[in-house]
Structure 1
Amino acid sequence: MTRSSIPEQIRRVAEHALRAAETLLPEWLPDGARQGREWVARNIARGDRRAGSFGVSLDTGRWNDFADDSAHGGDLVSLLAYLQGCGQLEAAQAIDRRLALGVIGASGSAIALPQESEAERLAREIRQDEQRERLEQRHRAVAIEAAQLWELGRPADPRHPYLQAKDVAPYNLRQLRGGRLLVPLCLDGRLVNLQFIDGQGAKRFLAGGRVTGTYSPLGRVEGRCRLFVCEGWATGATLHAHTGCAVVCAMNAGNLATVAMSMRARHGEDVELVIAGDDDRQSPGNPGRAAANRAALKADALVVYPEWPADAPLELSDFNDLHLWRAHKYKEQRS
């Protein structure tokens, strides 16, 4: 591999990382929370006690610590390098492995990394073990909190503004006294996290909870059947209502492949696995289709997309969008 190819591969990894930002950032900065289009967290690299000054843009990947003029960067590769105290090539390799991209070293040539001393290697491994243990502890604590909140919730009101806006039934959702919907996120059948949805449709997960590999189930997988895997919960509710089939909602495009592969491992060939992909026709590279195609390939699954009528607006992207548009057209024709 030539030296000139390394920056290009790092750039490509950064592009993929940005598409999976909502999966990666909760793992790297588990005490953070989404605020609008930014992930705001403690700066773990300098031992922050409170979140507020450190933020990462979900749209561009740019990050900045307003309390430290030297702490800033333009993409998620540089962010991981900063958080882990490593070089950008090493950070890009870590992201490449995490997302199973196959970008770094794709030509078959080995990348020569600077040799680290035995003491440096041991220190790095200890640091990584400590980070993993802190993350696991946080995941366990959030799972307990999720179970407690779930018990406090009551069956969701079908008249909730979000459910009415999406024209879907509440199914297995619950609702807190303040009106927020609770969407259960499971791992191997166990509740481990929650997604909150307010009346305006704003969504967030429990801060620090596990997101990667989790899913929200609709319906039961019984015997030989069809099982859909999709992104958002409203899309899953629409699919379940129209097909009667079981659905698992991966919550975001970056999680589709992981969830699909776990469903394949769990149910084997007893299920006809179908990825119901988003069709992001107005987004460069159509990330919804790209993620769905990757998931289908990795999980040996079929893949389907909404079939758009010629007059369907381009901003529509998923099966719930198509359902709502058709319902609106029907009402217009009846009036």
Structure 2
Amino acid sequence: MSEVIAKIQRVSRASLAHAETLTREWLPQGSRQGSEWVARNVARGDRASGSFGVSLVSGKWNDFADNSAHGGDLVSLYSYLNACRQVDAAMAIDRRLGLGVFRRGVTPPVNDAAEAAAMVAYRQRLEDDAAERELARQEAADRARSAWRAARPAPSTHPYLMTKGIPAYHLRQCRRGWLLVPLHSGGELVNLQWITPNGQKRFLKGGQVQGAYAVIGEIVPGGRVYVCEGWATGATLHRLTGDPAVCAMHAGNLRAVAEKLRKALNGSLDLVIAGDDDRQTQGNPGRQAANDAALAVGAMVLYPKWPDGCPDDLTDFNDLYRWHRARLDDASQDDQRQAGSTDMTGGDHE
């Protein structure tokens, strides 16, 4: 048994030099963010990236939407994703990388110097990639500022805003009719989220997203601030409460944004994490991310309260707001029809 454990540990160490290659293969819908690979957790059917992260330096991995889903190396990650024993995971990685650790009848010599050299080379690649990404971030920030200056104020009659039932709140619109949501970090415009009339969204390629955010309203020291995921949710909260809202753009960014706000204003803000309620997604990543952010910064946490008869596919405060509006509109139309029927059929006669 000790020999098997030793072989698993050898595969674990050797796999680190190929961490990005392996995670890209295992989690192909993810992306590199700094020294992490951030992806959907395919083991539990995530709808979007951001809940699942793997360190490309240490191999440690974690799913903030599932407290039981975490591990210390790439062998345990493979085991988790494929629901197999760790020894089977190590053997699969061994075959993939051609290490020969589990080759029958052969026990390759331990070459600590070669493994160390491979790790040095790998970390150098990580540093080079980090420098390239920083340059891409700077270029994306320049493009964001240029596009923002060239855009005009967005009308509240934009199809996306009409669908969501919210004002433009100082958004801008480009010539193609796309909304521009400005993302800031450290007081600087660093990226844009583009929203098409039919609601499709994307960010500038290479631009900063993690730790960046969009602000709706004015943040006042000592005041209340809502921290939420999407811009439409933030606009809804601001419209209904008058308090400012800070939009993290996705669940995996809630904690980073909340920590920035808490630190920037010396803890003077009354922070409220307004989470999504992903009721139909395994593990409810919206709630898990909001709870994690609230616990990290000592904030209150708030979720939509679903009335009886509310559809199960609604997840956020804007969904709830629009559902209530639709109910009120239907009731108003019923009243008008009833009043019209009364006018036509009579009333008092002398």
Same-fold call, TM cutoff 0.5: yes
Aligned to 1:247: 245
Secondary structure at the residue paired with 1:270?
coil
Identity %: 40
The letter for the 2-side match of 1:324 is R
CA deviation map 1:210-234 (0-9, x unaligned): 1111101111111210011000000
> Structure 2 vs 1, CA of residues 266 and 121 (structure 1 numbering), >3 Å: closer, same or farther?
same
Aligned to 2:234: 236
User: CA shift at 1:166, angstroms?
Assistant: 0.2
The letter for the 2-side match of 1:25 is S
Whether the 8 Å contact between 1:23 and 1:212 is mirrored in structure 2 is no
Secondary structure at the residue paired with 1:268?
coil
Aligned to 1:103: 70
Among 248, 256, 259, which residue is 2:257 paired with? 259
Distance 1:181 1:59 in 2: 30
Secondary structure at the residue paired with 1:269?
coil
Distance 1:279 1:259 in 2: 19
Whether the 8 Å contact between 2:225 and 2:269 is mirrored in structure 1 is yes
Secondary structure at the residue paired with 1:294?
helix
User: CA shift at 1:293, angstroms?
Assistant: 0.5
Distance 2:277 2:244 in 1: 21
What pairs with 1:283-322 in structure 2 (closer than 5 Å)? 283-322=281-320
Is 1:155 aligned to 2:153, yes or no? yes
Among 178, 191, 198, which residue is 2:196 paired with? 198
TM-score, scaled to structure 2? 0.68
Larger Rg: 2
Among 167, 170, 187, which residue is 1:169 paired with? 167
User: CA shift at 1:117, angstroms?
Assistant: 4.3
User: CA shift at 1:327, angstroms?
Assistant: 0.3
Is 1:25 aligned to 2:27, yes or no? no
Aligned to 2:327: 329
Among 262, 276, 279, which residue is 2:277 paired with? 279
Distance 1:150 1:264 in 2: 28
Over aligned residue pairs, what C-alpha RMSD do you find?
A: 3.9
Whether the 8 Å contact between 2:167 and 2:235 is mirrored in structure 1 is yes
Among 120, 123, 137, which residue is 1:122 paired with? 120
Whether the 8 Å contact between 2:180 and 2:195 is mirrored in structure 1 is yes
The letter for the 2-side match of 1:104 is G
Whether the 8 Å contact between 2:160 and 2:199 is mirrored in structure 1 is yes
User: CA shift at 1:315, angstroms?
Assistant: 0.7
Among 131, 134, 152, which residue is 1:133 paired with? 131
The letter for the 2-side match of 1:151 is R
The letter for the 1-side match of 2:282 is P
> What is the number of equivalent residue pairs in this alignment?
269
What pairs with 1:31-50 in structure 2 (closer than 5 Å)? none
The letter for the 2-side match of 1:164 is M
Whether the 8 Å contact between 2:64 and 2:288 is mirrored in structure 1 is no
Distance 1:188 1:330 in 2: 42
CA deviation map 1:65-114 (0-9, x unaligned): xxxxxxxxxx99xx979xx7xxxxx6641x44999x893359xxxxxx99
Aligned to 2:205: 207
CA deviation map 1:120-145 (0-9, x unaligned): 34322321210110010000000000
CA deviation map 1:10-67 (0-9, x unaligned): xxxxxxx99xx999616379xxxxxxxxxxxxxxxxxxxxxxxxxx996849xxxxxx
Aligned to 2:83: none
Q: Which runs of 5+ in 1 are unaligned?
A: 8-16, 30-55, 62-74, 85-89, 107-112
Distance 1:139 1:303 in 2: 32
Secondary structure at the residue paired with 2:212?
coil
TM-score, scaled to structure 1? 0.71
